[in-house]
Structure 1
């Protein structure tokens, strides 16, 4: 059965800088702190719908940061308690993806750096790391664009299922938060046993990368019910040029589970459960790789 997704004509990306400092000339601060190519691209968009800045006292802010989380809990707490919010909003035709959100996020990071603030990704509800990628063409989806992290069930002792118990629990549901700004539905994979959470996360990541190019083309897209995910999809997610597994593609079945949300399941022909599929049918690297740095070496001539 086919699944149809509708890509809108335009999308919105929004980031907020949480700070206690009074903001001065934000445009100048951005130009001073971004590399020249980024600064030039941002300057051409400022004060247009493609890149608007807005300042609000936290008490009157349109953005609620009280539930913000992040890898650094101190930063998350600073964001929740900050007295001022500076919004960076970009409304873009989908043909401007993914460079538009990339520039908006770089702008938020530069403003945060100038004000000792904390940049927050509104789509994911998480704080951002301070790193700025040098060029829009260096965009990789792995750079915190999905807003999906592994739950702490096993580390916190909430689940004690044995690592070798294939269907011992169904604790884990993983959902993306952030694909909509690329014109795409969010993805989820549910009822995963804790020992397979990383494999499920990497299936989610690879599926998102497979769909990403569609976000540049508005209109309806009829997808096959079973999507083929390749090693190149997984490599591109991380910003790698070399294949990351040697076997052929893997099949996933897409289902509509809610408005603008697709679920990921095993292919219809697989005779077992979701967790048996995650355990038996995936390349080993999907069970092993939690994070990886992009390949910044220049391609061969």
Structure 2
């Protein structure tokens, strides 16, 4: 297997949010002035009406955006999904930015979409992840991938195996693929062939790997990734935006492999002789099997 993976980080990437609403777009600049706080207010005001922050409005029947597949992060939030599908108007907030301006540029665009949604009583769909964002949530100045920037989640419980086989290699049902890394100039990540009982551990491997690769997305042009990547505690902690170490043992090596120009697979390192699920069960720090979520550290006062 090659010792490195070649990728190309594009010079610019696009982030797009759509506010699905019953109301027509009024004065977008005024709405954002009323709703936006710093550090986003000044940046949004300066970028508005340029390719760095373009706001466009359509009747839903004429919209270039198909929101029928948008899903709420909370699977019980059927109301938001219905509102997104049946909205009368679509207001797009699009940001085309140099990758060196990420992730702050994406935060500015999402903060602007939140301001418009608050004014227009709309729901926000992140087109990069196909997810409906939680309502009434202010944009956090501290960036963390865990803050709804990565569209990958555990499969619903009712999609797990029904035969009750809890053995390590009892099935290979689960395939997890990220959505949203492309807006940061990176390929998406995938881990496939996972047994249902190991799905959370596999998800946390994806999260830690995504966090580890984030700085590379700010370097436009050809880049070389090591195919053998040792993940450390700070990678998973950084995903959640916390400084507290999440495991005390040494690095967790993973093997990366290219599945195409914009997709990378993750698996056990070549020195591990067992199966993917044996690796997930035997080699990962215990926290990878336990951590569903945690709260980001507060910003310094």
Both structures adopt the same fold (TM-score exceeding 0.5): yes
2:7–2:261 contact (8 Å) kept in structure 1 = no
Q: TM-score, normalised by structure 2?
A: 0.95
2:160–2:196 contact (8 Å) kept in structure 1 = no
Q: Any idea what the Cα deviations from partners look like across 1:136-173, whole Å, max 9, x if unmatched?
A: xx010111111011111xx2265135474000011100
1:170–1:191 contact (8 Å) kept in structure 2 = yes
Please state if 1:101 is matched with 2:103.
no
Please state how far the C-alpha of 1:133 moved relative to its aligned partner. Answer: 2.5
Please state how far the C-alpha of 1:64 moved relative to its aligned partner. Answer: 0.6
Q: Any idea what the Cα deviations from partners look like across 1:61-109, whole Å, max 9, x if unmatched?
A: 1111111111222101100110100000000011101000111011111
Instruction: Please name the residue that 1:57 is paired with.
Output: 59
Please state if 1:140 is matched with 2:138.
no
Q: CA RMSD in A?
A: 1.3
Please state how far the C-alpha of 1:129 moved relative to its aligned partner. Answer: 1.1
2:244 pairs with one of 242, 245, 258: 242
Instruction: Please name the residue that 1:171 is paired with.
Output: 173
Alignment of 1:1-301 (within 5 A): 1=2, 2-70=4-72, 71=74, 72-130=77-135, 131-135=137-141, 138-152=142-156, 155-156=157-158, 158-160=160-162, 162=164, 164-296=166-298, 298=300
SS in 1 for 2:158: coil
CA–CA separation in structure 2 for the residues paired with 1:237 and 1:163: 32
CA–CA separation in structure 1 for the residues paired with 2:219 and 2:57: 33
1:161–1:168 contact (8 Å) kept in structure 2 = no
Give the paired residue count.
295
CA–CA separation in structure 2 for the residues paired with 1:43 and 1:234: 34
Flag structure 1 segments of 5+ consecutive residues without an equivalent.
none
CA–CA separation in structure 2 for the residues paired with 1:68 and 1:145: 15
CA–CA separation in structure 1 for the residues paired with 2:66 and 2:116: 19
Q: TM-score, normalised by structure 1?
A: 0.95
2:54–2:94 contact (8 Å) kept in structure 1 = yes
Please state how far the C-alpha of 1:134 moved relative to its aligned partner. Answer: 4.0
CA–CA separation in structure 2 for the residues paired with 1:118 and 1:58: 14
Please state how far the C-alpha of 1:124 moved relative to its aligned partner. Answer: 0.8
Please state how far the C-alpha of 1:36 moved relative to its aligned partner. Answer: 3.4
Q: Any idea what the Cα deviations from partners look like across 1:157-201, whole Å, max 9, x if unmatched?
A: 651354740000111000001000000000000010000000000
Please state how far the C-alpha of 1:223 moved relative to its aligned partner. Answer: 1.4
Flag structure 2 segments of 5+ consecutive residues without an equivalent.
none
CA–CA separation in structure 2 for the residues paired with 1:226 and 1:158: 31
